[in-house]
Amino acid sequence: MIATVGHFALFLALVAAAWAAVSSWLSTVASGRGLARSGERGIYAALAGIVIAVSALEIALVTDDFRLDAVYHYSSAAQALPYKIGALWGSQAGSLLLWSFLLAGMAAITVATNRTKNRALMPWVVTVLGLVMTFFLILVNFVASPFASGPMRPDGVGLNPQLKNYWMMIHPPTLYLGYVGFTVPFAFAIASLAARRTGDIWFRTTRRWTIFAWFFLGTGILMGSYWAYIELGWGGYWAWDPVENASLMPWLTGTAFLHSVMIQEKKRMMKVWNVTLILLTFCLSIFGTFLTRSGIISSVHSFATSDIGPAFAWFLAIVFVGSLTLLILRLPDLPAEARLESVLSREASFLFNNMVLVGIAATVLFLTTFPLISEAATGRKVTMGPPIFNIVNVPWALVLLFLIGVGPLIAWRKATAENLRRNFLVPGLAGLWVFLLFVVLEGRSAAKDLAAMGRSALSFDAATFLDHLKAFYPPICFGLAAFVLTTVAVEFARGVGVRRRQHGEGVLLALARLVERNRRRWGGYVVHVGVVIVFVGIAASSAYRKETVQLVDPGGTLQIDGYAMTYDGFRLEAVDDHVGAITELSVWQDGRFAGRLEASQRWHPNMLYPELRTAFHDAVAAKGGDPAAYRARIQGIFALIARLERTAGREVKTPSTEVAIHKSFSPAAPQRFGEDFYVTPLGVDPISGRANFRVFVNPMVNFLWLGGLVFVLGASICILPDSRERRRLEASMALEDRAAA
């Protein structure tokens, strides 16, 4: 029943989306007002169909309808309600449905908010949106249907335990909002080319859409790293995994786009470049979805392997070639109305930031897909690990950090010596001072690295040179961070000072008014501060992290980098869908008691084995009774799993680890501010309790998440409606209407 409703609703949505695309396109040729309206209604109808399908799938998940494959494989009767709901995007078909749903929602909002505006562009916008929707709806109708079903099954397999995490529940929808959101500015860009309205209306109309998509993509990436950090137990947050790279690339090109449109606004140049950037960003978003969902490049956490690959490859090729052809045909409509005058100018610094951002995105793309390229070209498979990504990208990330400081302050057209001195002397000195301070703190090892760099430079040994240069990356990063932060501080101080003098306002009021008067500019500064804090967190936590692996018996102690951890004892539990050994730990930081922690190693038994299922339920039932009996039953499950694995010759459990983290924010230990003491139990013997602990000390890692919060704050300021922006857009529209008439 549910499946029938779902199939039917999705099919209607497909017809509606296809109609939206066709009738909107016809209206541009036949200039039928009615056709255009009908196309817009098609978008609404498609949204209605998808909403019904999403609801149907959610009902099936919540009511445990195990006839549906998407329910059977990703949910189970015992699964907690939030995870039943979230299992929608656990399955591949379900996540494609989510994509379609978000896209249809955004398309509907676009149509609704442009009812009376942009009449020349809208038919083309609806055509593009309709086509993209049609593609995703073809996938969920014919290639990977979320409503594929079989016979009723007594219980489901359940979601992968590692995905049962709060962050993992909100991370995919957040990321998808970002991926999907870029469709709207892309559609407007294509529309402006197709309709030969190549002014600034397309990007002014979609400015907030772009920030919205970029914001959600950025937040989604950070959430994903946070999930990896607290859930995967390897002490890190970024592994240059294909799926991670997939989300980073469109974010980088999107960031470049956000900056370079400002040049087009001010100077009416870089028009072709901007269209190219949004085209690249959209293609990379589709490519990202494709990488995540197709498993084409093996990935540590690609949870999917499937047959949607060819469909995506074709779609991507059509979009890319089609839009590029259109762009080339319209090149005469996109003349630059100004040109770069000096390397020392804001235009040039934005251009350089674009080059670096796109350069990094291109290298990441190249390195991510290199295994495929190499296999196709030479027949040899190769793999690319994280070090090579760091070797290539870290120096350029540092250049980017420098440009973050330069871009907003350097003069337009051509910077004078006076402009440079006024804006950069103090920040430059501050940066240099911090850099030297950290080099001096490194002391002898810095001197050794410097000497080795000198020797290798003389013998043209680039590899050794780079190896030793690496030691200076953290001080360079901290120095540049100080430089950028000082530029921003000076800007805020100047702005507030001017308002105080002119309007006699207090500091806080002046600050609030200042930001409110030009949200984009000051919100942008806040975003920059967030990014700088993230950079500092990455540099410190990757350069100065400490790690140890030790076997400890209950009662024993482990020491690392000024910390002592005693293993007080352990207890066993059988809850939800797993048995676990919880280790109880006490942590001392530099001789002071820091707190108690609990880290656990869990085994999720495969409930499809009846004997395991029975033993597990017996153990859960024994909870609250005699503690010794409860413990014995759980130990019995561990033994049973080991026995079953020997006879079955395969895994009958999924292990997962719950890490324990002690965060330091205490003013008593300022040198440890933002540091994490991070414990992963790699294995716990259920009888003796002997545990193999992997322990990390990650200095300043929390700066990453704090910087993320600052980023969210800044982006929120940028995305609020801005009356200045609205007036500019209206002025452009009036101008264009006059020109057309």
561 three-state secondary structure = coil
- Least gap, CB of 167 to another protein (angstroms): 19
Among 383, 416, 614, 666, binds another protein (CB under 8 A): 383
Measured from the CB of residue 301, what is the shortest distance to another protein in angstroms? 9
Task: Choose between 167 and 396: whose C-beta lies nearer to another protein.
Answer: 396
What's the Rg (C-alpha) of the chain? Answer: 28
Fill in the per-residue mask, 513 to 542: x = in contact with another protein (CB under 8 A), - = not in contact.
Answer: ------------------------------
Q: Under the criterion CB under 8 A, does residue 381 sit at the interface with another protein? A: yes
Two tokens at 185?
A: 């500015």
Side by side, which strands form the sheet with 653-658? 557-560, 563-575, 578-589, 592-605, 653-658
Which one of 381-389, 493-501, 553-561, 563-571 is the stretch in contact with another protein (CB under 8 A)? 381-389
* Position 376 contacts another protein (CB under 8 A): no
The yes or no reply on residue 343 touching another protein (CB under 8 A) is yes
- Report the nearest approach of another protein to the CB of residue 148 (Å): 16
Give whichever of 518 and 692 is closer to another protein, judged by the CB atom.
Answer: 692
| DSSP 8-state code for residue 143 | I
- Distance CA(725)–CA(512), nearest Å, equals 18
In the complex with another protein, the residue whose CB is nearer, 78 or 648, is 648
Residue of 321, 437, 462, 621 that binds another protein (CB under 8 A): 462
> Which residues from 65-94 bind another protein, rule CB under 8 A?
73
Q: How far apart are the C-alpha atoms of 719 and 212, rounded to whole Å?
A: 7
Beta bridge partners of 694: 549, 680
Among the listed ranges 513-521, 605-613, 695-703, 724-732, the one in contact with another protein (CB under 8 A) is: 605-613
Q: Is 669 in the site for another protein (CB under 8 A)?
A: no
Span interacting with another protein, options 46-54, 102-110, 262-270, 460-468, rule CB under 8 A: 460-468
# residues contacting another protein (CB under 8 A): 55
Per-residue mark of binding to another protein, 684-713 (x: CB under 8 A): --------x-x-------------------
CA distance 205 to 188: 8
Among 463, 628, 739, 740, indicate the residue that binds another protein (CB under 8 A). 463
Measured from the CB atom, the residue of 380 and 444 that comes closer to another protein is: 380
Long-range pairs, 648-653, Cβ under 8 A, ≥24: 651/606, 652/605, 652/606, 652/609, 652/612, 653/603, 653/604, 653/605, 653/606
Name the residue nearer to another protein (CB basis): 395 or 554. 395
Residue with tokens 């033993």: 615
CA distance 734 to 723: 16
Provide the sign of the torsion angle of the four alpha carbons 614, 616, 622, 623, taken in this order: negative
Alpha carbons 88 and 102: distance in angstroms, whole number: 13
Residue with smaller CB distance to another protein, 281 or 601: 601
Question: Rounded to an integer, what distance in angstroms lies between the CA atom of residue 359 and that of residue 12?
Answer: 43
Q: Enumerate the H helices of 300-345 as residue ranges.
A: 309-329
Smaller CB separation from another protein, 51 or 362: 362
Three-state secondary structure string covering 681-694:
EEEECCCCCCEEEE
Closest distance to another protein from the beta carbon of 19 (Å)? 38
Q: Strand, coil or helix: what is 361? A: helix
User: In the stretch 384-403, what mask flags binding to another protein with x, by CB under 8 A?
Assistant: xxxxxx-xx--xx-------
To another protein, the closest distance from the beta carbon of 247 in angstroms equals 19
Q: Are 188 and 281 in contact (CB under 8 A)?
A: no
Q: How far is the CB of 662 from another protein (least distance, A)?
A: 21
Enumerate residues 481-510 that contact another protein by CB under 8 A.
none
Tell me the closest approach of the beta carbon of residue 83 to another protein, in angstroms.
Answer: 14
What's the min distance (Å) between Cβ of 434 and another protein? 25
Q: Which parts of 291-320 interact with another protein (CB under 8 A)? A: 303-304
CA distance 186 to 323: 10
Q: How far apart are CA 431 and CA 419, in angstroms?
A: 18
- Name which position in 368, 423, 606, 698 contacts another protein (CB under 8 A): 606
What's the angle, vertex CA 268, arms to CA 266 and CA 270, rounded to 5?
110
Q: Does 32 bind another protein (CB under 8 A)?
A: no
Q: How many CB atoms lie within 10 A of CB 367?
A: 18
Q: Which region, judged by CB under 8 A, interacts with another protein, from 192-200, 339-347, 484-492, 529-537?
A: 339-347
In the list 419, 566, 586, 654, the residue contacting another protein (rule: CB under 8 A) is 654
Instruction: Please say which residue, 493 or 639, places its beta carbon nearer to another protein.
Output: 639
Q: How far apart are CA 630 and CA 572, in angstroms?
A: 9
Give least dist CB 655 to another protein, A.
4
Shorter beta-carbon distance to another protein: residue 491 or 658 = 658
Q: How far is CA 511 from the centre of its chain?
A: 31
d(CA 536, CA 435): 13
What would the x/- binding string for another protein be over residues 344 to 373, using CB under 8 A? ----x--xx--xx--x--xx--xx---x--
Smallest separation, CB 256 to another protein (Å): 13
Name residue, tokens 């939800």: 576
Q: Which residues contact 145 (CB under 8 A, 6 or more apart)?
A: 7, 10, 93
Q: What would the two tokens of residue 253 be?
A: 């090109």
Per-position x/- string for 152-191, each x denoting binding to another protein as judged by CB under 8 A, each - no binding: -----x--x-------------------------------
Q: Are strands 557-560 and 563-575 parallel, antiparallel or unpaired?
A: antiparallel
Stretch (H or E) spanning 655: strand 653-658
Q: In whole angstroms, how close is the CB of 254 to another protein at the nearest point?
A: 20
**CB nearer to another protein: pick between 262 and 367:** 367
Task: Tell me how far apart the alpha carbons of residues 715 and 216 are, in angstroms, rounded to a whole number.
Answer: 10
Examine residue 150 and tell whether it contacts another protein (CB under 8 A). Answer: no
CB of 126 to another protein, least distance (A): 37
Residue type, 412: W
Report the alpha-carbon distance of residue 604 to residue 83 in Å, rounded: 16
Q: How far apart are CA 716 and CA 720, in angstroms?
A: 6
Give the residue ranges of DSSP H helices in 544-675: 610-621, 627-648
Complex with another protein: residue 52 or 392, whichever CB lies closer: 392
Query: Is residue 554 a contact point for another protein (CB under 8 A)?
Result: no
Q: Which two tokens stand for residue 405?
A: 């400081």
How would you write 46-61 as a 3-class SS string? HHHHHHHHHHHHHHHH
Q: Which is nearer to another protein, 391 or 440 (CB)?
A: 391
Pick from 437, 549, 632, 639: which binds another protein (CB under 8 A)?
Answer: 549
- Which of 62, 682, 706, 712: binder of another protein (CB under 8 A)? 682
Which residues of the shown chain bind another protein in the complex (CB under 8 A)?
73, 157, 160, 303-304, 339-341, 343, 348, 351-352, 355-356, 359, 362-363, 366-367, 371, 380-389, 391-392, 395-396, 462-463, 466-467, 549, 551, 606, 608-609, 645, 648-652, 654-655, 682-683, 692, 694
